[in-house]
Amino acid sequence: MELRFYNSFSRQIEAFAPLEEGRVRMYHCGPTVYKRPHIGNYRAFLFADLLRRLFDLEGYQVTQVMNLTDVGHLVDDADDGEDKLLAEARRAKLDPWKIVEQVSAQFFADLDALGVRPAHHYPKATDHIPEMVRLVELLVDSGHAYRVGDNYYFDVHAFAAYGRLSGNRIAELESGARLEVNEEKRHPADFALWKSDPNHLMKWETALGPHGFPGWHIECSAMSMKYLGDSFDIHTGGEDNVFPHHECEIAQSECATGKPFVRLWMHTKFLQVDGGKMSKSLGNVYTLDDLIERGFSPWDFRFLVLRGHYRTQLNFTWEALRGAAEARRSLLDWRGRLQAAERNGHGQGQAEVRQAGAAFDRALEDDLNTSEAVAAIFQLRNHFMHHGLSQQAAVAAMQLLARADEILGLFEMTADGAAPGLADAEVETLIAERNLARQEKDWARADQLRDQLHAAGIVLEDKFDGVRWHRGE
């Protein structure tokens, strides 16, 4: 495939060219582990998984890193104010380390339930204090950062490209009302690299001083460069990460190493709920459990998210989730029918399958247009439902569906990698047993076998010339 992606930095679609041929190194801003991530966060993380799956299938050697922010992310993404984790610890009357442990475990369980492939590294900020201290030292030594008491700030005027990613100009930032006045800073737009507070619950004694803790941005610079090198291919996050988080990461990293930091910046548009921002007061900050309680599979949510293009608005409603669940089930049903058609298909359809495959790939090549890619699959399904497919075309359609499943993750798998339920041979055996029971007029046994097959998602169709079956409803 000839992949092209929208680069938030250049604001253009660019042909994908990794720094090293055949290799992709990518970093994703992960959760702040102060409470269980909500479904909006999972839009960002599912996008990371989509990239991962695509590169895997394309044969790249992938190194994927997603961090866990367990200190330093202050309320409102600000420089001053309360640490999100410590605020939660106080509210819940729990040890912050305990919260990190619980929420991290919950996060990994959620990723698993969503069928996300594990990244190669999930570094935690608090495990990388020395790397952060080193970066701050480099920045002070090179004149890009300054110390006031035991606090360290980055001097935004020392980096000419500051503001390139977000389009913010320093002058406008500094005249804007959004920046609170902090007497310590040389310029209002400077940002904290490292802070000190004897009352902080999570603090470290380092070469930078006692009672220190990192700023949120320096964490991602330190962890990404540790696992991926000073320059790497892709950095992702939700759209709110563009500023200040990623803008500051670029400034710190490039000033510390003197090298370009990231080639390709990709940002996921926010998931909205009921047409607006999720909010506690509206009671619509949903977690995966809220979905499961209403009878949905996390895979239905996965499908809802991934059949939308990552840069377009996506609005979560229960109605939309129901639609996604039904659509996913109809694909599962189609897979069953295709399996049957591989054995006894009629019709033609080779050209349609080829066209669908080409349209699927073209859509993904075009900045991961999963919405059009999924539409191509459904178009082929429609053709099949009206005109059938020859055995050969059904085999090819199954291959396309399997490819779509690899990239998008459509069908849930059991732990051993098999589709849940019965294997084909087991189905055939049960059907043969049922035929025998019917010949012997053992109707109770025959019905029992039909029910057993039905419970495993196998649909039987009694025809004059025998029994046909497919997976579905």
238 binds ligand AMP (CB under 6 A): yes
Candidates 26, 29, 132, 393; binder of Zn ion (CB under 5 A) is 29
- 409 CB neighbour count, 10 Å cutoff: 21
Distance CA 86, CA 11 (A): 37
Which among Zn ion, ligand AMP, none contacts residue 271 (Cβ within 5 to 8 A by kind)? ligand AMP
The tokens of 176 are what? 């804007």
158 binds Zn ion (CB under 5 A): no
**Nearer of residues 32 and 370 to ligand AMP, judged by Cβ:** 32
51 binds ligand AMP (CB under 6 A): no
43 binds ligand AMP (CB under 6 A): yes
Distance CA 4, CA 22 (A): 16
- The number of residues that bind Zn ion (CB under 5 A) is 2
Helices (H), 285-390: 288-293, 298-306, 318-344, 350-365, 370-387
Kind and range of the H or E element at 5? strand 4-7
Which positions ≥6 away from 127 have C-beta within 8 Å?
none
DSSP string, 386-444: HH---HHHHHHHHHHHHHHHHHH--S---TTSSPSS--HHHHHHHHHHHHHHHHTT-HH
**Nearer of residues 29 and 242 to Zn ion, judged by Cβ:** 29
271 binds ligand AMP (CB under 6 A): yes
220 binds Zn ion (CB under 5 A): yes
Region near ligand AMP per CB under 6 A, out of 17-25, 268-276, 332-340, 407-415: 268-276
Strand, helix or coil at 366? strand
**Nearer of residues 46 and 377 to ligand AMP, judged by Cβ:** 46
Distance CA 23, CA 141 (A): 33
Distance CA 284, CA 315 (A): 12
- The number of residues that bind ligand AMP (CB under 6 A) is 15
Which among ligand AMP, Zn ion, none contacts residue 220 (Cβ within 5 to 8 A by kind)? Zn ion
Exposure b/e, 275-303, CB count within 10 A at least 16 = b: eeebeeeeebbbbbeebeeeebbbbbbbb
41 binds ligand AMP (CB under 6 A): yes
Candidates 18, 40, 96, 349; binder of ligand AMP (CB under 6 A) is 40
Exposure b/e, 192-212, CB count within 10 A at least 16 = b: bbbbbeeebebbbebebbeeb
Which among Zn ion, ligand AMP, none contacts residue 268 (Cβ within 5 to 8 A by kind)? ligand AMP
- Sort residue 249 into left (φ over 0), alpha (ψ -120 to 50) or beta: alpha
Candidates 241, 252, 253, 297; binder of ligand AMP (CB under 6 A) is 241
Distance CA 33, CA 68 (A): 7
Candidates 31, 212, 345, 357; binder of ligand AMP (CB under 6 A) is 31
68 binds ligand AMP (CB under 6 A): no
**Nearer of residues 75 and 423 to ligand AMP, judged by Cβ:** 75
Region near ligand AMP per CB under 6 A, out of 108-116, 233-241, 302-310, 333-341: 233-241
**Nearer of residues 29 and 125 to ligand AMP, judged by Cβ:** 29
**Nearer of residues 220 and 234 to Zn ion, judged by Cβ:** 220
Distance CA 204, CA 192 (A): 16
Region near ligand AMP per CB under 6 A, out of 57-65, 123-131, 237-245, 415-423: 237-245
237 binds ligand AMP (CB under 6 A): yes
Which positions ≥6 away from 322 have C-beta within 8 Å?
none
Which among Zn ion, ligand AMP, none contacts residue 224 (Cβ within 5 to 8 A by kind)? none
215 binds ligand AMP (CB under 6 A): no
**Nearer of residues 220 and 400 to Zn ion, judged by Cβ:** 220
The tokens of 109 are what? 């369980």
CB burial of residue 102 (10 Å; 0-12, 13-18, 19+) = middle
Q: Shortest gap between Cβ of 243 and ligand AMP (angstroms)?
A: 11
Region near Zn ion per CB under 5 A, out of 23-31, 72-80, 93-101, 420-428: 23-31
Q: What is the DSSP letter of 76?
A: G
**Nearer of residues 41 and 166 to ligand AMP, judged by Cβ:** 41
Which among ligand AMP, Zn ion, none contacts residue 336 (Cβ within 5 to 8 A by kind)? none
Binding-site ranges for ligand AMP (CB under 6 A)? 29, 31-32, 40-41, 43-44, 69, 237-238, 240-241, 268, 270-271
